[in-house]
Structure formats: C-alpha cells, structure tokens
Amino acid sequence: MFQMILRLLVTFLWLILISQSKLDSCEQWIKQLGDLDFFTEAQIRMVCMHQKEWVKDRDEEAGKKFLEVTTDNQLKYLRHVEQCTRENCVREARRKKRAPTKSIRKEIRMMSPAELRNLGIAMNGLKNRQIDNITAWDLHTLVHYPDSAPGAHWGPAFLPWHREFLRQFEIALQTEVPSVTLPYWDSTLDQGLPEEADSVLWTDELLGNGNGYVKTGPFANWDTNVLMPLSQIPVKKLYRSTGGREQDRLMTPKDANWIITRQNFSQLTFCHDKTFESMHGLSHVWVGGFMYVIRVSPNDPTFYMHHAFIDNLWEKFRQNSQTREEREEQWATKNCNSNHGFDVQMKPFTIQNRDGLSNQYTDEWYEYQPVRHCTIEDATCDSNFYWCDMKTWRCRSRVVYGGNCTGYEGTQICYNSVCSQGKCVVPPRVRSATKSRIEDGNLSFKEKVWAKTVLLDENGKGIEDDLSRIVITDLVTNQTQIVFHSGETVFPEIPGTVYLSLPKPRAGKMSRVSLEARDQFGRYCQAQCMNSTSERYQVCQPFLNISLNSEISSPVSFTHSMSSRTFLNLDLSVHPRQMHPEMPYIVFVCSRKLVTSAMIKQAAEVVRAPTSTENYVFFRVAVFREESSNYQIEVSPYSDVGPIFSSSIEKAASAFDPNIVYVQAPNPELHKEGVRVRVSILSNNNRVQCQVKCTEKDGSMHQCDGDVDLHSDSTLSQEDVFTSDPHSLPVLGWNMKGHPSFWRHKMPFLSFHC
C-alpha cells in the first residue's frame, strides 16, 4: 500500500515538473520576445505551445497515425516530384503552351479569372488523384508531418525546407495544369481592415468562405484524411475560423519591414531570434481550423499561399541584405538540433539543408511579382480586388458586400458595393433585382412538410431580412428549392426564423436534404446543431434526415400543416406566461466571429408571449358523448365580466378530435382577480346531467362541478391552457418540441361524460 502511494506521489511530482518545465520554457520565450513590439504575451504563449506540440508529434511519430505504411507507388510519386523539381521537367510542357518557362508567382488577388480557374483545376486535380489508399494532395500533407520532416520548423532549416516543399508542390500542380503557378497571400493587405475576416479573399471567387466548414469557392466540401486536432467534435472536412478569436492577428507591414531589413540570415532563425518564425505562426492561427495546428495545416490550400508569402519576404531579405555568395553560404551558428545543420539531409528529401539556399530557385524556376502600391501620381491598383488607401498610399484588400467599412465612407473599400454608415451596401433596386433573379425558376417540392430554422448574426441576434435565404436540396431527387425569411416575426417565432420546406417522408422511407444558408448579403452561414448529450449547440454539417421513425430521423420538429408550422418547437400545454419557443435543432450563424451556444440559446430565451389585450380567450373542454346527440355547450362567467358564451358542440369541436371542444371566456389578463366560469352541457336549452371530472396539474382526476378558474398567475389558474390566438386552436394543449413522435397532448382541466 505504501509503495503504491509512493509511486502515485512520484508520478504526480513528475507531472508537475513536466508542466512546470513547459511553463518555464514559455517564460523564457516571453523574456526573449516580450521587449519587441510585435507580440502580446498570449500570442507568445500560443506560439510556444505550438512548438511543444510539434516536438511531441515528432517523437510520437504522428505520421504513422495518418498513413501507417507508405506504398511503393506513393514513394515513386514523391521521388518523381522531387526529381522534376531538380530538372524543371514541366518546362517543355510550358513551352509548348507558350507559357513562360519561369513561374511568376503573383499575389492571389492579382491573378486573372483564367489563372484562378486553372489554379482551382490543378489543386482539385491533386485532391482527386488517388495513389493507392490516399490522394496526391494528402501525400504532400504527410510530407509536412514532424516525424517526416523534423527540420521543417523551429530552426534555421525552416526557410530552405519550405522553399523546397513549395517548389515540389508547384511542380505537382504543373503536372495537372502546366501553366499554373503558385500564388502568394500577402496578409498585410488584409491587416488593419475594420474586420479583417471581411476581406474579399474569403469569397466564392477566391479562397471560399472562412467561417466554418468550407462550403463555397474552389475548395468547397473538401475531405481531409485526418480529424482536425483540438476540435471538440470530429471534423474531417476542410474547416476555417478566420479571425474568430479577438486575440489573433495577421502580419503587419511593420512585421514585413522588420524581416526584410535584417542584416544576417541567422537573425531570421529560431535559435538566434524567435521573431520571424513566431510571426509566420500568427497568420496560421488567425485562419484557424486545420491551419491552426502546424502539422495538418497543408490540408488547407491557404497554407501554400501563406508560405509563398513567407518565402517572398525571405527572398526580399536575400536581395536586400545579402550578396549572391552570402545567400548560399550564410547559416546560423546555433542550429537548435541536429536536423538543422548546414550539411544535414533535408528530410524527407534527398538534398541537404544548404541546397535550399541555392540561387537557382529564383534564378531559373520562379520569381515573385510584387504588389504595385498606389501613389499620389497614380492612385490606382492592379486588381479589382484591391483599393487605394489614400491615407497610407497602399493598395489594400477590398471588403465584401455586407462587410464592415467603418471609417472609410467615401472610399473605394467595398467590393461591388458602396460604404454607407459603416456597412458595404447596394442600392434598393439592386437588392430587388437580386431577389428576383434568385426566385426566377424556383420550384416547390410537390409534397412537403415544414420545419424551422433560425439565422443569427455575429451578435447572436436574428437576421430579419427578406433576402436571407436557404437553398434546400433533396439528396434523393437532386431537386432544389430556395426559401426566404418571411419578413416581420410574430410570437412564437424567434427573430430570424426561416421555414424549411422539406420533402415529405413516407412510412418506412426517409427524406434526406442538404441546406445552404446565406445572409442578406449572400455570405455563407455556418450550421450549428443541438448536441442532446452536452445540451450545447456545436458546428455541424448542414444535412437533415426526415423520417416518421425518430430512431433514423434528425431530431427535428416538423408538420405537414402550414397553419401549424408557426407553433413548432413550442409547448402549448403550459400557461401563456410560461410559454416560450425553443431553438430549432439546426440553426445558422452568419458571422466571422465566435457565436457561442449560450448566445444561440439566449436568442430564444428572450422571446416571450406578449400580454394579450383581447377581450376573450379560448380554452378546451373534453366532451365525451354519443354521436347522435345534439348538445350545446355554455360558459357563464360568475361576475359581470362578460357575456355568456353558447355554441353547438358540433360547431365548436376540434376538426382533429371531436371530443375536444373550444369555448370562450373573458380574458383573465384584463381582470386582476381572474375569471371564474361555469361550463354546462345543454340539450334543447335544458341542462344535461353529465359526469364531470377535473384533471389537476399533477395528473390526478376527481369529480367536480364544472367551474373553472382562469388567472394570469399560473399558480392561481386551474386551467393553464388558454389562448387569445384563434390560429393556435388546432394545436392547443400540444407540446410540439422535438420529433413529432415525441409530441404529447395534455388533457383539458374539465371533461364531461354524457
């Protein structure tokens, strides 16, 4: 027993020492980097922990979890790409197409539509090319794993390793489309925008959406060959979270200038100065998703464009601060570890680290086309995706339609829109034409059921705009339908409610649909679904299974009745003051910022039924009688608060259940003391002697006299279920939350057995 306790104590102390050593090493980083005006303490800690994670993945051989054994065909492909890099074997193919034999790498927003299209074709070609059990794209990703490339990060080999890696990847692209060159992403053009995630870069035309699963643009719906690390849910599709955290930032012009103006190569290397490699990590983290973790970051095409920019900055340093000889000979005196030696193999490639310094890369193989910035003499930029910021005389990225342009009214900052009151907008006539164009040819499913969803903005507030919409695709027939926000919401609708028209499920069969939500500006909205286990909303794929069988259906509340759809996700078996809608199973967040589960739930929790000012309310009475009987029902208030209500039972009975009768009484909200009424069954104006029973709130039943108390205070009201809204009568008393098979009906307080 004593030995076991001692063993546990030693283990506990060891864990403390390990965690403390990590903390201490990160404290050293803070001391080394804290004096520079580049990083916050939180950013330094984040980069530090990324370095620890890289070392951990290297030592645990993380690549083996990705691909246990590399096949001969896969090795042959990688060797061929490296050999092509040395021989520039696509040069002849480029000559035949009359393309320059030297690749000209442009900032991605400077590429022509044809160049962008070819880039998408080439990248998708690698993504779809299967080499045994893995795609070519994923093989290149595996090359970047720390156990495959132990010298790729955290030392002087960082820059030459990635130069070679990018060149091999560019050669792979050119085997798909010979004229393609790898673009770079100059993140300093986005830095400093009112909302950097509103950059035009994250649109369908360029890199696709940056908020959640990538569902738009050339890389939409890409699979990954590994789960996204650090995610609370299993994510195996390309995913981003651009600018999702307030503490993250992009590289600045000041950062770039610091890099270019260093005097010696060693000043850019990790063990001499952690600044450059730490700077490079900022954009990784800002993009988020797969880019957040260095090991898996090449899953996102953004990785290659970001690293091309890093390589571009390094080349500018080389041209600015080194002679041709120094570019190939300068190295760091501190190598960090044996993988970063000058004459050491650049694993997993066959060359050495020193070969990555060769002038041949930019002499013969590629060069960077700089971004031409505007001047007082020429206030133009070379791309429609840029605008000239005359405050700084720099070309900067434009902001998307609907994006934040605060402080830039009167400038050209907005893409295909204008800046008005801090928002990029279009004239009303353009909006109207947009909706007409979207609606043109829009077809409805022949047989359908209705469900609800909600579109939320970055503040967790409902989007109430008739241009916000959802494209519904029947995955069985491939038919699509577009549904729009219906306008002003009324209780029990949650602001931002959109009604989903879904293919009607048949007995024993299931309807399956995909949903794509867009806000009023056409920007992609990320789906979030309720996790019933954790009782939290979390990112999900926008697919729904609709079935009468709850075991195979998504937990969605749906109805075939258009008049009843308003009351989905609502419990109508409670007192009106206790009635509030529940958020639907699936909602859509139209935001680049983090919207939490609590914010989503809050949007529903604040919705309450308005106090009714109608003179009368309806409540239910159960009347069990012979079919041939011709009875009337009468409701008589005890005090002088309103007239007697009288109707034939046949006329007042529910169309769905003839034993449920709707009757009328004075509205208790207008009478502080409440309302007491006597309910009677009559035949030819004579009272019928029926057995009268009352069902209490605890479910118990007893004989009673037909009196009912209605009160605005639920604790004083015998009958809780009443309403002044005649549209709700068909579903009054029903709890319509969740799948229809779980709906439950509450018996009326008063029942007559005649």
What's the token pair of residue 698?
A: 């605890």
Instruction: State the Cα–Cα distance between residues 83 and 323, nearest whole angstrom.
Output: 28
Cβ contact 584:557 at 8 Å? yes
pLDDT in tens, 628-650: 678 999 999 998 888 999 999 99
* Overall average pLDDT of the 11-18 stretch: 36
Instruction: State the Cα–Cα distance between residues 123 and 114, nearest whole angstrom.
Output: 14
* Amino acid of residue 657: D
Cβ contact 108:117 at 8 Å? no
| Tokens 């980097």 sit on residue | 33
Nearest to 205 by CA among 284, 318, 120: 120
Answer yes or no: is pLDDT of 621 > 70: yes
Cα 261 from chain centre: 39
Using 50, 70 and 90 to split pLDDT, how confident is the model at 10? very low
What's the token pair of residue 132?
A: 């045994």
Contact partners, residue 144, CB within 8 Å, separation at least 6: 152, 165, 295, 297, 298
Nearest to 299 by CA among 362, 232, 226: 226
Instruction: State the Cα–Cα distance between residues 505 and 449, nearest whole angstrom.
Output: 8
Which H, E and C letters describe 506-547, residue by residue?
A: CCCCEEEEEEEEECCCCCEEEEEEEECCCCEEEECCCEEEEE
Pick the CATH number of 63-368 from 1.20.120.350, 3.30.390.50, 1.10.1280.10, 1.10.1020.10: 1.10.1280.10
* Amino acid of residue 19: S
Q: What are phi and psi of 629, to 5 degrees?
A: -70, 150
pLDDT of residue 497: 96
Crossing angle for the helix pair 41-59 and 2-33, to the nearest 10 degrees:
130
Determine what percent of the chain is predicted with pLDDT higher than 70.
93
* Amino acid of residue 522: G
Instruction: State the Cα–Cα distance between residues 733 and 576, nearest whole angstrom.
Output: 11
pLDDT in tens, 295-340: 999 999 999 999 999 999 999 999 999 999 999 999 998 888 899 9
Using 50, 70 and 90 to split pLDDT, how confident is the model at 32? low
Q: Where does residue 676 rank: exposed (0-12), middle (13-18), buried (19+ CB within 10 A)?
A: buried
* Overall average pLDDT of the 533-545 stretch: 94
Sorted by where each begins, the domain ranges of the chain are: 63-368, 386-425, 442-605, 616-753
DSSP 696-739: -TTS-EEE--SEEEE-SSGGG-S---EES-GGGGGGTTEE--SS
Contact partners, residue 650, CB within 8 Å, separation at least 6: 630
The shares of helix, strand and coil residues in the chain, as percent rounded to the nearest 5, are 35, 20, 45
pLDDT in tens, 285-297: 999 999 999 999 9
Which long-range contacts does 348-351 make (Cβ < 8 Å, 24+ apart)? 348/78, 348/143, 348/148, 348/149, 349/82, 349/164, 349/168, 350/82, 351/164
* Overall average pLDDT of the 358-385 stretch: 96
Nearest to 47 by CA among 337, 266, 241, 292: 292
* Overall average pLDDT of the 512-539 stretch: 95
* Overall average pLDDT of the 737-748 stretch: 95
Q: Where does residue 672 rank: exposed (0-12), middle (13-18), buried (19+ CB within 10 A)?
A: exposed
Using 50, 70 and 90 to split pLDDT, how confident is the model at 652? very high
Q: What are phi and psi of 350, to 5 degrees?
A: -90, -15
Answer yes or no: is pLDDT of 744 > 80: yes
Maximum separation of any 2 CA atoms in the chain, in Å: 115
pLDDT of residue 639: 84
pLDDT in tens, 549-608: 999 999 999 999 999 999 999 999 999 999 999 999 999 999 988 899 999 999 999 998
Answer yes or no: is pLDDT of 56 > 90: no
Q: What are phi and psi of 491, to 5 degrees?
A: -60, 140
**Which of the two residues, 716 and 50, has the higher pLDDT score?**
716
Instruction: State the Cα–Cα distance between residues 210 and 208, nearest whole angstrom.
Output: 7
**Which of the two residues, 240 and 93, has the higher pLDDT score?**
240
pLDDT of residue 215: 94
Crossing angle for the helix pair 253-260 and 275-287, to the nearest 10 degrees:
150
Using 50, 70 and 90 to split pLDDT, how confident is the model at 25? low
pLDDT of residue 21: 39
Instruction: State the Cα–Cα distance between residues 530 and 533, nearest whole angstrom.
Output: 9
